[in-house]
Structure 1
Amino acid sequence: MRLILGDQLNCRHLWFADKQKDVTYVMMEIMPEQLYVKHHIQKIVGFFLNMRHFALSLKQQGHHVIYFYLDSAENQQDFRANLIWLKQKLNIKKFEYQLPDELRLDETLKEIQKEFKESKVYDTHHFLTSRNEVKDFFKGKKQYLMENFYRYMRKKHHLLVDSQLNPTGGQWNFDADNRKKYDGKVPLKEPLIFKRDVTELVNLLEKMQVPYMGEINKKEFDYPVGRQEAFALLDYFCQELLPAFGTYEDAMLKEHVTLFHSRLSFVLNLKIISPNEIIQQVIKYWEHHQNSITIAQVEGFTRQVIGWREYMRGIYWAEMPGFKEKNFFNYNAPLPDWFWDGKVKMHCLKHCIANSLENAYAHHIQRLMVIGNFTLLAGIHPTEVDNWFLGVYTDAIEWVQITNTRGMSQFADGGIVGSKPYVSSANYIDKMSNYCKNCFYDKTKRYGNKACPFNSLYWNFYIEQEDKLKNNQRVSMMYKLLEKMEPTEKEKISEQAKKYLENLNSL
């Protein structure tokens, strides 16, 4: 009996090379997986659709598959209980599974393994690194540094390097070329969407009383299902979006949800498509279109997929379970109520949160420099932030979410993932978006009537956290500016910040 988890939909796994009559594959929809956080309804529907599609495709290929639907009469809503029931019913002698990517499931399956006389664990054959490769790479080093790991990955897998392993284009990183606000010079393209009726699944969730957040168009659900649609999304990205991806990858626009982003992370994190398949196709397409696509576009995308994504997974396995408890600033405030409905007067947060609730999507800068930026400046407990991010996005699975949120975004790890807190005033948000235009708040004011909360909260953060941050060289400039600031100015900023912090629900 071989168990397939909902994010292990890799049809190219060695398991499926041969059709073995004595092998039973098991997949299941169970309530605990819907309840450990409140998930976005599109996330739940997207997972179930792809799990069911995968199970059907295995059956069509001749494999024996048992699938527990959420409302199946025999479903005991528990991995262990369902597997033990099948063990007895089918007289199973051996249990096999692929390494889970979440620690809680890793521990669960290790316990279930003990129920069988014989068992075997396989790698998922998806990632470009092993679980412990990042940990081993940085062994003996004082700090993780993604850039060093990224260069190692490029050389190891011969990606965008020459025969001497020198970087294509003469430099490893073109990040400096990839920070432009959208200027209208390149026409925006509508994202490729896949419309299908999911009324039956939505009705199932209602019947089973599954709690969820967000909204869904049950007549036109637009996330991809299966490899054919995953590759259609990849093709569309290469042909229509890649030429401008890097240039505008940090840009934000209230009139457009995705700009030039691929939206591949959902099918990638379910393992429907592999990072190697994505990167090989992107590089191949660029090689045939170098007259219209610059190296900066391709390098920026490559860095996200084979650098940052693999790095985050490595840190997860190196630092868990302790990582989940880290709270460097000892924050304890709850999330404001408007995180659940988007009804906030700050335009940047209104658009980014509404986008998240409507589409179960936001790109990395919206997550990091608007939503995450605010929760860090506002002193929100990192577990509250973790749970919201883990629930709201279709691509959010703990191994990738918690390292990005608690680490990169909230600096709750004290600098394991990032070397400085990623915070900003209204100036950065205005620089990278059009959110500030016609906002209720004034982006230029630190205090006073309708002063943008980001401004006072930003400076107040550095004032309040001086003991913990003053020796961090990457933010030393902020403290030099604070030293030059008049005491009365700092006092007014702190007073304004205090008013906002005491009334977060009213922003």
Structure 2
Amino acid sequence: MSQPRLILVLGDQLSDNNPVLRGAVAGKDHVLLAEVAEEANYVRHNRHKLVLIFAAMRRFAGSLREQGFTVHYLSYAQAIDSLSSAVETVLATAEFAAVDVCEPGEYRVLESLQAMGESIGLPVNIHPDTRFLCQLDEFAEWASGRKQLRMEYFYRLMRQRYQLLLQDDGEPEGGRWNYDRENRKGWRAAEAVPERPVVAMDEITAAVIAEVMEAFPDNPGDLSQFCYATDAATAQQQLDWFCEHALARFGTWQDGLAEESPWMFHSIISMYMNIGLLDPLQVCQQVEAQWRAGKCELAAAEGFIRQVLGWREYVRGIYWLHMPAYGKLNHFDAHTPLPDWFWTGETDMRCLSRALKQSLELGYAHHIQRLMVIGNFALLAGLDVEEVCEWYLAVYTDAFEWVELPNTAGMALFADGGIMASKPYAASGSYLKRQGNHCAACRYDPAQVTGSAACPYNALYWRFIDRHRAGLEKNGRMGLVLANWKRRSPEDRDAIVQFAESSLPNLLATDTA
């Protein structure tokens, strides 16, 4: 009988559809899962993320044992420093023909796996991650020869490939591919937010919470509020609840900024797809079925499917197409150090404080909080791109570099110079007021541009436009904004820019009265 393989399963690959498991032979091949120090500490991970992954890994290991696999599980307490050390630990116990692993979600891990073969003296076979709906070579082929890699056109291709929200003649349902403009309503607390079901705490999760609290005392994350599923069945229950109770209003309020709820009508399932507990195609098909059953508007179903089938696959393609250089791009030469209060949320800017504190405490914020509140401030203030990207990677439960880096560097900070976004996503206080009800509880006034009561986003916005106007003039989508700025008198422009310049240092140091 030939020697068994050692199958390495990473913490974001907890699915029976993992390609290295589909051909595995129970009773022969061995499986390794390891909570290694390097992965747990390369950024200051939110404790919600650590608990989610560790607990889900332990549950998945139990499922594999039930299927008859010999499972080697190395916990964080065993002080295994790296994936290579974890593999070497298991290789010392038996003879194996090779190590097989699914391609990882981060470039640095890929480099580590590629170097592992030489250190362990065995072949390391890295398999394409077929759990994604667009393979990397397919994305590269789509991107080849295109001057602009706009998600909208990629998304239409994916809709056609997977036959989602299409008529019998292949045209989009409703006659349009995109219903984004129907999904931008600002929140005014006009209706009740549905109460979400509580995820029951079990012994595995409780034990992991205790271990993480002891081992990571200074990491963000209020684990008294831990509420995430740690197995596929419970994650599916969360998706089912969303489809029945929140999907119908998801599209309407997905861009809303609310004082009342961190969750609003969002699905809160990205972390489950990103670690393997939910299958993205099945998620899209379930949402489509809700629309076809008349349980939600087309705009809600299309908006949700676009984020999963379009955006999620697109950002992964962008990441791998442009790495490793992508992680060093800094189009606006932004190097201002990240303020300390990004780790506390203690700022008088109400919308920013709420988004930061929610992110730190829960490991979650929706896309407008990430892009147009936190990311917008970082863009306008010229915060250091690498520091901001590291913060995003650390604090969010669903953050892995393949999805975090393009969203942060590309969309929020425009650090890639337009590889992803057609213009910088910069906005003033008027946008934030329009999207929600934070301004009513803020000491700053979004109607004022200068003065002690002026919303900081306003002057910073015009300072950003003024500083980068030479480059922005080449962007056709920025013409109206630049024209508005030029219509102001030179004295007015100087006063706004000087106010922004003089107030920014104090704002970054502390903004609490």
- TM-score bin, normalised by smaller chain: over 0.9
Cross-structure match for 1:315:
318
What runs of 5+ residues in structure 1 fail to find an aligned partner? none
Cross-structure match for 1:394:
397
CA contact (8 A) 2:74 2:80 kept: no
Cα offset, 1:203, TM superposition: 3.6
- In structure 2, C-alpha distance between the alignment counterparts of 1:210 and 1:345, rounded to whole Å: 27
- In structure 1, C-alpha distance between the alignment counterparts of 2:303 and 2:213, rounded to whole Å: 41
Amino acid at match of 2:95: N
Change (3 A) 1:390 1:193: farther
CA contact (8 A) 2:26 2:67 kept: no
- In structure 2, C-alpha distance between the alignment counterparts of 1:410 and 1:273, rounded to whole Å: 30
Cα offset, 1:118, TM superposition: 4.0
What per-residue deviation string (whole Å, max 9, x for no partner) do you get for residues 133-189 of structure 1? 222102111111111101000011111112221001110000111111124454311
CA contact (8 A) 1:34 1:210 kept: no
Q: Within 5 Å, give how 1:316-465 maps onto structure 2.
A: 316-465=319-468
- In structure 1, C-alpha distance between the alignment counterparts of 2:387 and 2:180, rounded to whole Å: 31
CA contact (8 A) 2:411 2:421 kept: yes
Amino acid at match of 1:308: W
Cross-structure match for 1:24:
30
Q: Aligned with 1:97: secondary structure?
A: strand
Q: Within 5 Å, give how 1:132-147 maps onto structure 2.
A: 132-147=137-152
What per-residue deviation string (whole Å, max 9, x for no partner) do you get for residues 192-218 of structure 1? 33142655324423554575223221x
Amino acid at match of 1:80: S
Cross-structure match for 2:219:
212
- Find out whether 1:78 has 2:85 as its counterpart: no
- Find out whether 1:300 has 2:303 as its counterpart: yes
CA contact (8 A) 2:47 2:216 kept: no
What per-residue deviation string (whole Å, max 9, x for no partner) do you get for residues 263-304 of structure 1? 00011100111111101111112211x2x4211010000100
Q: Within 5 Å, give how 1:193-208 maps onto structure 2.
A: 193-196=198-201, 198-208=205-215
- In structure 2, C-alpha distance between the alignment counterparts of 1:491 and 1:173, rounded to whole Å: 41
RMSD of equivalent CA atoms: 1.6
Change (3 A) 1:195 1:333: farther
Change (3 A) 1:132 1:17: closer
Q: Aligned with 2:452: secondary structure?
A: coil
Q: Aligned with 1:413: secondary structure?
A: coil
Between stretches 62-71 and 134-143, larger displacement belongs to 134-143
Q: Aligned with 2:252: secondary structure?
A: coil
Between stretches 421-430 and 99-108, larger displacement belongs to 99-108
Cross-structure match for 1:255:
260
Q: Aligned with 1:96: secondary structure?
A: strand
- In structure 2, C-alpha distance between the alignment counterparts of 1:449 and 1:208, rounded to whole Å: 43
Q: Which runs of 4+ in 1 moved over 6 A?
A: none
Amino acid at match of 2:443: F
- In structure 2, C-alpha distance between the alignment counterparts of 1:199 and 1:254, rounded to whole Å: 30
Cross-structure match for 2:69:
63
- In structure 2, C-alpha distance between the alignment counterparts of 1:440 and 1:117, rounded to whole Å: 62
Q: Aligned with 2:289: secondary structure?
A: helix
Change (3 A) 1:360 1:484: same
Change (3 A) 1:386 1:151: same
- In structure 1, C-alpha distance between the alignment counterparts of 2:434 and 2:213, rounded to whole Å: 43
- In structure 1, C-alpha distance between the alignment counterparts of 2:440 and 2:194, rounded to whole Å: 23
Amino acid at match of 2:360: L
Q: Within 5 Å, give how 1:146-225 maps onto structure 2.
A: 146-196=151-201, 198-208=205-215, 211-217=218-224, 221-225=226-230
Cross-structure match for 2:236:
231
- In structure 2, C-alpha distance between the alignment counterparts of 1:85 and 1:203, rounded to whole Å: 26
- Find out whether 1:37 has 2:37 as its counterpart: no
- In structure 1, C-alpha distance between the alignment counterparts of 2:216 and 2:343, rounded to whole Å: 19
Match of 1:89 among 80, 87, 93: 93
CA contact (8 A) 2:290 2:296 kept: no
Of all paired residues, the percent bearing the same amino acid is: 37
Change (3 A) 1:392 1:119: closer
CA contact (8 A) 1:95 1:116 kept: no
Cα offset, 1:95, TM superposition: 1.3
Cross-structure match for 2:3:
none
CA contact (8 A) 1:424 1:454 kept: yes
Cα offset, 1:130, TM superposition: 0.3
Aligned length: 501
CA contact (8 A) 2:188 2:436 kept: no
Cα offset, 1:18, TM superposition: 5.9
- In structure 1, C-alpha distance between the alignment counterparts of 2:227 and 2:123, rounded to whole Å: 42
Match of 1:2 among 7, 20, 24: 7
Between stretches 166-175 and 329-338, larger displacement belongs to 329-338
- In structure 1, C-alpha distance between the alignment counterparts of 2:277 and 2:441, rounded to whole Å: 42
- Find out whether 1:111 has 2:97 as its counterpart: no
CA contact (8 A) 1:186 1:244 kept: no
Cα offset, 1:132, TM superposition: 3.0
Change (3 A) 1:209 1:455: closer
Change (3 A) 1:303 1:5: same
- In structure 1, C-alpha distance between the alignment counterparts of 2:209 and 2:334, rounded to whole Å: 37
CA contact (8 A) 1:423 1:458 kept: yes
Between stretches 394-403 and 493-502, larger displacement belongs to 493-502
- In structure 1, C-alpha distance between the alignment counterparts of 2:491 and 2:206, rounded to whole Å: 59
TM, length-normalised to structure 2? 0.94
Cα offset, 1:123, TM superposition: 2.6
Cα offset, 1:117, TM superposition: 4.1
Amino acid at match of 1:127: F
- Find out whether 1:476 has 2:479 as its counterpart: yes
CA contact (8 A) 1:327 1:413 kept: yes
Cα offset, 1:256, TM superposition: 0.8
Q: Aligned with 1:316: secondary structure?
A: helix
Cα offset, 1:495, TM superposition: 1.4
Amino acid at match of 1:77: D
Between stretches 252-261 and 119-128, larger displacement belongs to 119-128
Cross-structure match for 1:100:
104
CA contact (8 A) 2:17 2:131 kept: no
Cα offset, 1:241, TM superposition: 0.5
TM, length-normalised to structure 1? 0.96
What per-residue deviation string (whole Å, max 9, x for no partner) do you get for residues 76-133 of structure 1? 3221122123223212222111111211111111111343444433233211000232
Amino acid at match of 1:270: I
